[in-house]
Amino acid sequence: MPRYWYNYVPGANPSPTLPANYRLSTIKPTCVTGSTICSVYSSVPTGAAAPTILPSLSNRLSNYITNGLSTNAAQPVTGKFFVYLKS
């Protein structure tokens, strides 16, 4: 499955684990650490163009978001980051 960057853009329900709060980004974020979610790197189903709104959050990505908010650091702590934060 292809992966795309999605920026966190809180709506009426600002939960960082709500997929509707993420919008497709055409560039990789420059943020990395902070106390607020900046972007997530998520896989989406193979097929047509990338959805402009994140279709769903996997359990793993939800855990990375929770861990990132707890530590103020990009997640996971080793390997490729899938959750970036900002100040």
Give the Cα separation of 31 and 50 in Å (integer).
Answer: 22
- How sure is the predictor about 71, in pLDDT bands with cuts at 50, 70 and 90? very high
Give the Cα separation of 43 and 56 in Å (integer).
Answer: 9
The per-residue pLDDT for range 16-57, each reduced to its tens digit, is 999 999 999 999 999 999 999 999 999 888 776 789 999 999
For residue 45, give its domain range.
3-86
Query: How many domains does the chain fold into?
Result: 1
Share of the chain above pLDDT 70, in %: 99
pLDDT over threshold 80, residue 13:
yes
Measured in whole angstroms, the distance separating CA 47 from the mean position of its chain's CA atoms is 20
